[in-house]
Amino acid sequence: MKLSVSNSRGKDAADRDWFIPEDGRKQLTQLFAKLPNPVVLDVFTDGDEKNAFNGYTRRFAEDISLLVDKISMHHHALDSEEAKRRDVTLSPTLFVGTGEADPALDYRIRFTGAPLGEEGRALVESIFLVSLRQSGLTETSRRILSELKEPRKPRVFSSPGCPYCPGQFMHAAKCAIERPGLVEAECVNSDEFPDLSKKYGVGSVPHTQYDDAHKAIGLMPEERFVLELVTLKSADDLMREHGMEPGHEGHDHAHGAHGMDPEGLDVVETDMVVLGAGPAGLSAAIYGERSGMKTVVLDKSVVGGQVTVTPVVENYPGFTDIAGLKLVEVLSAHARQYATVREGETVHEVKIGKFIEVYTNRAVYLCKALVFATGAQWRKLDAPGEGRFYGRGVSYCASCDGFMYRGKRVAMIGGGNSALTDALHLKNLGADVTIIHRRDSFRAEKALQDSLEREGIAVIWDTVVEEILGDTVAPVREGDGGDGKDAAPGTAPAEPDTGVVRGIRVRNVKTDAVSELPFDGVFVAIGHIPNSEQAAELGVVLEKDGSIKVDRHMRTNIPRIYAAGDVTGGVRQIVTAVGSGATAALAAFEDTQNPYWKKKGD
């Protein structure tokens, strides 16, 4: 059975009981207005009326198809011949393609499960790329992918609350567009299909299953994703085989930054480069451009930083409460009105000369001022088992992984704002949460403590985690977030094997009593470590805690180098990050006009 949906936007569309809200329809209509080529959405469902996701997917696709003439939608039964041809066995399933009769010419981009939440972003971007008939891969990625000779079916497990998952899946989707005869990309909503997630040991997202044996956890740089797709081997291992340090796979040539030749890379001249697209970086971009400085923002991951994975923000002026991701969207949209913001671009080296030279995996930037707004990464417990069970019960991101622990027992380690916010989020998702805190009182805001008490979340005081316990199973390898050390949203040090978390061994710091507590998951929120390594390599002075030392103008000890946000330590709040970003940009503008480091008369 196949049902085609008319593209008429007449009376039927006007009277329709829309699934997509009016504001969303207006935005999507504007986005899709200039689609150059037709796009076909094929939806497969099993007819189970109790499965709400069937209705969500079908109505969502129907709504999209009624917005513009270039998009059409067909509905198929799960027991249809078309389902057999495409090897569809799970409901709902949605394909984005060109509608070409020859399977070798159509793009195979599959969403298994309703593309809701963050996965909706990936669906919209997939529609764009399919309509353009262009993959959007970098030249480096295209060259690597041209070596592929055998079929690949990368499967990216995601969750609706994970801001990193769309980026990881889009790597796969771009490969499917670049090599339509060989690559099929699949995005699996891990929350809808727990049995499939369990089969592949999914405990943290994004989880990429390249084949039955090769897998990775975390958001990866595009070039690294493509390399592992082609070779089915760890990119780190491949680079070490060729005498290279992990994290530098994006370069094209043989000299220059970390031994790479900038010849062939785009050379971009600008006034200011901001490293990091969190609140501090975005604020610096706005104030820099408004001061007259042409600004480029670079981020190795996605826009937003830590705020992206903050479930609810209740202390940002102007908003009584707002989802972290929504706040990021507001800040990002504002910044993009002024500056160029580039995600997924890893900085490999910075050189200081007449111009400051910033070398990335895609370009060389020549600028007059550089702002480090690189933020901070999650601090690890450094407890035995932490690395071994990462992605199998250990997580640093409640927004990303919380869906998988509904109805399960989880421990939240920490006592600050982040720990309590995440604990409340997990409780709201339906998890049985217990907070483990090494002190006898919280450092978090009183409002959060009051919410914790109202929700009846248990707390174990004066206790530290000695070891994370679990059952050992087949090994899994972590993905890399772009610096060779940490995957987004965060990983623990790799250990020889992996398993499934069953509990933790804890010690009371006052009595030294040791006990074992049963848990299905462990979430860690015990502070942050500043991402200041590249600044230190330049000779920038750091504080004892590793944060970048700045004056009240956000200047470092090196002229033309500034820092803002969490990487400078102090009060790590969104509002202070935004303020410091603005201050850094204004100082950079003032200094380019009146260099304080030059003597009068020079």
If one compares 157 and 314, the residue with the highest pLDDT of the two is 157
Write out the two tokens for 248: 């530098």
CA distance 131 to 70: 8
Nearest by Cα to 400 from 193, 190, 209? 190
DSSP-assigned beta bridge partners for residue 74: 4, 42
Identify the weakest region by mean pLDDT among 14-23, 142-151, 157-166, 390-399. Answer: 14-23
Q: What is the pTM (predicted TM-score) of this model?
A: 0.81
Residue 393 pLDDT > 90, yes or no? yes
Identify the weakest region by mean pLDDT among 109-118, 320-329, 379-388. Answer: 320-329
Task: Choose, from 191, 401, 566, 591, the residue flagged as catalytic.
Answer: 401
CA angle 351, 356, 360 (to 5 degrees): 65
User: Are 272 and 585 within 8 A, CB to CB?
Assistant: yes
Mean per-residue pLDDT for 513-530?
96
pLDDT digits (tens, 9 = 90+) for 290-330: 999 999 999 998 899 889 888 888 889 999 889 888 899 99
Residue 301 DSSP one-character state? S
* pLDDT range class, residue 580, cuts 50, 70, 90: very high
If one compares 323 and 365, the residue with the highest pLDDT of the two is 365
Write out the two tokens for 90: 């799970």
CA distance 175 to 15: 39
Task: Choose, from 367, 397, 422, 591, the residue flagged as catalytic.
Answer: 397
- 162 counts as catalytic: no
- 397 counts as catalytic: yes
Mean per-residue pLDDT for 483-511?
64
Identify the weakest region by mean pLDDT among 4-18, 57-71, 97-111, 581-595. Answer: 4-18
pLDDT of residue 466: 97
> What is the average pLDDT value for the chain, to the nearest integer?
88
If one compares 234 and 180, the residue with the highest pLDDT of the two is 180
* pLDDT range class, residue 264, cuts 50, 70, 90: low
pLDDT of residue 239: 65
* pLDDT range class, residue 499, cuts 50, 70, 90: low
Residue 261 pLDDT > 50, yes or no? no
Mean per-residue pLDDT for 397-408?
91
Residue 521 pLDDT > 50, yes or no? yes
Task: Choose, from 400, 422, 520, 566, the residue flagged as catalytic.
Answer: 400
If one compares 455 and 5, the residue with the highest pLDDT of the two is 455
pLDDT digits (tens, 9 = 90+) for 266-284: 899 999 999 999 999 999 9
Percent of the residues in the chain that have a pLDDT greater than 90, as a whole number = 73
- 321 counts as catalytic: no
Which range of 6-15, 386-395, 557-566 scores highest in mean pLDDT? It is: 557-566
Residue 113 pLDDT > 90, yes or no? yes
pLDDT of residue 600: 58
Q: What share of the chain is helix, strand, coil (3-state, %, to 5)?
A: 30, 25, 45
Residue 220 pLDDT > 70, yes or no? yes
Mean per-residue pLDDT for 533-552?
96
The owner of tokens 């200081």 is: 352
pLDDT of residue 49: 85
The owner of tokens 């079908």 is: 58
* pLDDT range class, residue 9, cuts 50, 70, 90: low
Residue 430 pLDDT > 50, yes or no? yes
Single-letter residue type at 596? Y
Mean per-residue pLDDT for 401-421?
95
Asked if omega into 92 is within 30° of 0 (cis), the reply is yes
